[in-house]
Amino acid sequence: MSEEKSLNFIEEIIETDLAAGQYKSILTRFPPEPNGYLHIGHAKSICLNFGLAIKYGGKTNLRFDDTNPAKEETEYVDSIKEDVKWLGFNWSNELYASDYFDQIYSFAVTLIKNGLAYVDDSTADQIAALKGSPTEPGTNSPFRDRSIDENLTQFAAMKAGAYKDGEKVLRVKIDMAANNMHMRDPIIYRIKHAHHHRTGDQWCIYPMYDFAHGQSDSIENITHSICTLEFIPHRELYEWFINQLEIFPSKQYEFARLNMTYTVMSKRKLLQLVTEGHVQSWDDPRMPTISGMKRRGYTPESIRNFCERIGIAKRENLIDVSLLEFCVREDLNLKAKRVMAVLDPVKLVITNYPEGQTEELISENGPDESYGNRKIQFSKELWIEREDFMEEAAKKWFRLAPGALVRLKSAYIVQCNDFLKDTAGNISEIHATYIPESKSGSDTSEIKVKGTIHWVSVLHAMQAEIRLYDRLFNVENPSQEEGDFKEYINPDSLQIISQAFVETSLINSEVGNHFQFIRKGYFCLDKESTKDKLVFNRTVSLKDAWAKEVKK
RNA sequence: UGGGUUAUAGUGUAAUGGUAGCACUACAGAUUUUGAUUCUGUCCGUCUAGGUUCGAAUCCUAGUAACCCAACCA
């Protein structure tokens, strides 16, 4: 029957919890900070959190971790919601950490009342200096022993706006000698007179991550709070707050974030690429962002499948981008309508075909009948791919060359008998004769050819702009190289072909349609396309066995 | 030289003391009106050294390496 698929470590935990009756059902959350666009690494987290809830009959909240007004914007909130939906997931509740500011404030007051938090007047530098180092214990702040009443008064004054940014902070009283640096009296509230994208100017103090994230989890009754490895040291604090505040015991689990070859995956770096103009925008098709991949023509199914295949574990990883490309091809192979387009055109003249004659031929749209057929126009002069002709045929060359026979896809077999060169020595025109009885679908010629090439009729072709994308960086792991990661940007990551020719049927294509340009790759219509100027993005090339042969 | 986390083919991920499996990549072949797809096959692995055991990727001991932690970021 169905073979057991092995569980990842989080699924094992959940199954154990469920079997023990610890929870009736699970509740997960996807908690982005709205300070940038989502990337493929977030997709891994989204697929995990939503996927777990789907698998075990639970629910998932979308919660924005918006506790730092200086970095967060509504534009990012909107893009994040769009990207999660596009990936195919539905959240139970759209929530914001800022929804809980009142509640979190009262948690802080509780800690003060219990003698567990104090207002510290030290400067940032002083606090850092007293923090010690990983190998040396810290020192207690001189403000650590303020009275509860004084702390209460001062904290209220902080909230009321009596102080400037940085003048005071609220810290929690734990242990300045703890091995875990996060337990050395962490700051839980800071003063920031900044406009918040949702609460406006209502607050001038904001909770820190450690005093907002876990509290939000707990308020929502999140059962499994899943984050990435770098938060492991925060877990001890996460649990400390839950115990001290006696709130719902959400549990934190950590998995390894996604790294992928030839790209970067930090919002900070991606932001730089955008603001410094190395790419056009967050949704530039070369970006590892969800919106970039969408625009490039990747499908949600292929991304979800990719996330499924890479698995969930705790060790550092660097996933080969070719696995993502495989998933994209696998999906597009099933979905993309086949059409013909010539990217680097050279003219082929069928010398024995009647001048002025046009023929309507039938071509299949896909690998089987369910895709249907379409009509294509054939005439005396055709555009073919420059690389499909060789003046002197190489070994194992199946394409056009003087004297060689080749099939024009869905049309006739032709034989090349001449070619012309321009003054610069480039091939300017190729002459061939066609074999009338070799017509596709009713071939009685009994001629076998090894090569089939694509073409479009000169008379009927439409001009189009085609954008080819290559990897954004020319080293596997730009973040790990010496110096600035931007030194490793691939200067040729975008190639624009302004004079390509595509078949007429493409006039009706829409943004979001996927095509296979036969023998050239998968393409989609770009959002910058207009009726007068079609613009296509190459999503991914086809595997190319000949290119490999040439390399050898 | 503190604490934490992780080590399985080139990459990623299984095997929970009992035949080291799967996918991608690479390579070879078959089919093909896309040098695509599809199909078949091949190469390649348990961090090191000891130990326990009939039997160890798994348990024990000692090493080694990588990553994370000293933001009023998340």
A2 vs A288, residue with greater confidence: A288
The answer to whether the C-beta of A143 is closer than 7 A to strand B is no
Q: For position A552, what pLDDT does the model report? A: 73
Distance A12 CA to B52 C1' (A): 29
Could you tell me where the DSSP H helices lie in A451-518?
none
pLDDT of A367 reads: 83
| Annotated catalytic residue A173 | no
Rounded average pLDDT over A339-345:
98
Give the closest residue to A166 by CA, choosing from A131, A212, A126: A126
Q: For residue A349, give the amino acid letter.
A: V
Nearest nt (C1') to A190 (CA)?
B72
Q: What pLDDT is recorded for position A3?
A: 46
Mean pLDDT of A403-416: 97
Let me know if A63 is a catalytic residue. Answer: no
Where do runs of H (alpha helix) occur along A311-430? 321-335
Which pLDDT score, from 0 to 100, does residue A368 have? 83
A323 touches strand B (CB under 7 A): yes
In this prediction, does ipTM exceed 0.90?
yes
The predicted pLDDT at position A314 comes to: 97
State the DSSP H helix or E strand holding residue A375, giving kind and residue range, or none if neither. strand A373-379
Does position A468 have pLDDT exceeding 90, yes or no?
yes
> Structure tokens of A265?
């995956």
Active site residue A439: no
Asked whether the predicted pLDDT for residue A496 surpasses 90, the reply is yes
Is the C-beta atom of A322 closer than 7 angstroms to strand B?
yes
A234 touches strand B (CB under 7 A): yes
What phi and psi values does residue A274 have, to the nearest 5 degrees? -75, -50
Collapsing DSSP to helix, strand or coil, A301 comes out as: helix
Of the pLDDT bands very low, low, confident and very high (cuts 50, 70, 90), residue A4 is low
C-alpha span between A499 and A226 (Å, rounded) = 49
Quote the pLDDT of residue A370.
Answer: 87
Residues A46-83: b if buried by 16+ CB within 10 A, e if exposed: bbbbbbbbeebebbbbbbbbbbbbebbeeebbebbbeb
Query: What pTM was estimated for this model as a whole?
Result: 0.96
Out of A44, A190, A235, A267, which one is annotated catalytic? A267
Q: Give the pLDDT of residue A120.
A: 98
Rounded CA-CA distance A67/A207 in Å is 6
Q: What are phi and psi of A476, to 5 degrees?
A: -60, -40
* Cβ < 7 Å from strand B, A residues 266-305: none
Report the alpha-carbon angle A337-A339-A343, nearest 5.
130
Mean pLDDT across the stretch A417-441?
97
- pLDDT mean over A456-478: 97
Whether A309 CB is under 7 Å from strand B: yes
Answer yes or no: is pLDDT of A1 > 80.
Answer: no
Q: Are strands A341-342 and A494-502 parallel, antiparallel or unpaired?
A: antiparallel
Residue type, position A517, single letter: F
Between residue 172 and residue 201 of chain A, the positions with Cβ below 7 Å from nucleic chain B are 179-182, 187, 190-192
Number of neighbours of residue A208 by Cβ within 10 angstroms: 17
* Residue A5 clears pLDDT 90, i.e. is over it: no
Residue A252 and residue A241: Cα distance in Å, rounded? 13
Residue A90 has pLDDT above 50, yes or no: yes
pLDDT more than 90, % of chain A: 96
* Mean pLDDT, range A307-320, rounded to an integer: 97
Instruction: Decide if pLDDT at A252 tops 80.
Output: yes
pLDDT at A266 over 50: yes
| pLDDT tens for each residue of A367-377 | 888 899 999 99
C-beta of residue A393 within 8 angstroms of C-beta of residue A355: no
**CB-based contact A225:A251 (threshold 8 Å):** yes
A538 band by pLDDT with thresholds 50, 70 and 90: very high
Lookup: nucleotide whose C1' is closest to A191 CA: B72
Tokens matching residue A347: 């003219």
Give me the pLDDT at residue A334, please.
95
Query: Residue A498 and residue A218: Cα distance in Å, rounded?
Result: 55
For residue A396, give the nucleotide whose C1' atom is nearest its CA. B35
Q: Which of A33, A220, A385, A503 is catalytic?
A: A33
Inter-residue contact A38 to A84 (CB < 8 Å): yes
Selected catalytic residue, list A71, A198, A257, A374: A257
Can you tell me which residue has the tokens 């991606």?
A270
Sequence-distant (≥ 6) Cβ neighbours of residue A233 within 8 angstroms: A180, A181, A182
**Proximity of residue A541 CB to strand B below 7 A:** no
Q: Which nucleotide comes closest to A5 if you measure CA to C1'?
A: B14
Give the confidence band of A319 by pLDDT, cuts at 50, 70, 90: very high
Mean pLDDT taken over chain A: 96
Question: What pLDDT sits at residue A217?
Answer: 98
Strand pairing class (A462-469; A534-540): parallel
Q: Can you give the distance from the CA of residue A541 to the C1' of nucleotide B12 in angstroms?
A: 23
Q: Does the pLDDT at position A32 exceed 80? A: yes
